[in-house]
Structure 1
Amino acid sequence: MRSVLVAAAGLALSTTPALAATDPEAPVFENGTVWEYSEIATTDGHFDDYLQWLDTEWKAQEEALKKAGVIKSYKVLLVGAPRKGEGDVILAVEYANMAAFDRSVADGYALQKKIFGSIAQANQGQASRASIRTILSTTLLREAVLK
């Protein structure tokens, strides 16, 4: 009896991949990385100032996050001809998965202190950039990796 059960289990396991491949309801994609896109409108006359900040402080911040394993990559995208009400810069940050956002507040604060020196400095920097740019929106997207 036991050998019959083992043989039946073996047969079931060997046919499962074949059945999954022909299953019309099987998913045609897998979850990929998560992207965060922030649409930024620079203040007239401050485009170069903002790009300079991106090239220095923001880039250093993103590199520190990358080194800490929080993000995978980042990009700065420029909008060629923004329409009225649209941004002229898009900041793209790639995370491995949604679990990257499930960090404790204490961990987040500790990382900010490591990058900026203090939470007060981080807040001051954020406030000072308000004169050269406006964050219009931030969108979180998950990539669908087609099979």
Structure 2
Amino acid sequence: MKRLSSALLAAGLMAMSVPALAEPYVDYTPQKGYWQINAIEVDPNHVDDYLTGLRTSQVSGFEVLKRRGMIDDYKFMVRNGYVKGSPNVMIMTHSPTSANLDADKARDKAIEKEMYAAFSKKQGDAAVAGYEKYRTFIDDAQWTAVDMAK
């Protein structure tokens, strides 16, 4: 009897631990495009400096990418609170399609030229040199949004 109870208990626990398998397009629907998210740890005493630098070094480039249809949105997020080794700034761009990842020399060179007209390579190199004193990249990944079924 004791063995039977133990076996039933074990079977019950196994049944509860089997995860339900989600079905794409039934339980959730992947959305088109993707978010490129850079998660950065910035020394908490320099977050304002970093954001000010990003305003001049990144926003003009993101606006070029928007005009060219490469991205349709961008965001900067700052975490309230600080934990060493964890990101406290995120730089996010949304691309409407993964096809934008395909190489296109003429397009890419034109975008580069337009970006350097707004913020030169020399300015970019100087900005990055300043950033490196107080930032560490934690993660750089592409994320796809999903809509959950109701």
What TM-score do the two structures reach when normalised by structure 2?
A: 0.67
* Cα distance in 1 between the residues matched to 2:92 and 2:31: 18
Q: More deviation in 100-109 or 43-52? A: 100-109
* Pairing 1:71–2:71 present: yes
Deviations 1:1-34 (A, max 9, x none): xxxxxxxxxxxxxxxxxxxxxxxx7832243331
Unpaired runs of 5+ residues, structure 1, are 1-24
* Cα distance in 2 between the residues matched to 1:26 and 1:82: 36
- The within-5 A match list for 1:11-26 is none
- Please tell me whether the aligned partners of residues 79 and 88 of structure 2 are also in contact (alpha carbons under 8 angstroms): yes
Which amino acid in 2 is paired with 1:54?
A: L
Give the number of equivalent residue pairs.
123
Which amino acid in 1 is paired with 2:138?
A: L
Aligned-residue CA RMSD (Å): 2.6
* Cα distance in 2 between the residues matched to 1:76 and 1:40: 11
TM superposition shift of 1:120: 4.3
What is the percentage of aligned positions where both structures have the same residue? Answer: 23
Which residue of the partner structure matches residue 103 of structure 1? 103
Which residue of the partner structure matches residue 3 of structure 1? none
Which residue of the partner structure matches residue 40 of structure 1? 40
* Cα distance in 1 between the residues matched to 2:138 and 2:85: 9
The 3 A distance-change label for structure 1 pair 94 and 139 is: same
The 3 A distance-change label for structure 1 pair 123 and 110 is: farther
The 3 A distance-change label for structure 1 pair 47 and 38 is: same
TM superposition shift of 1:57: 2.6
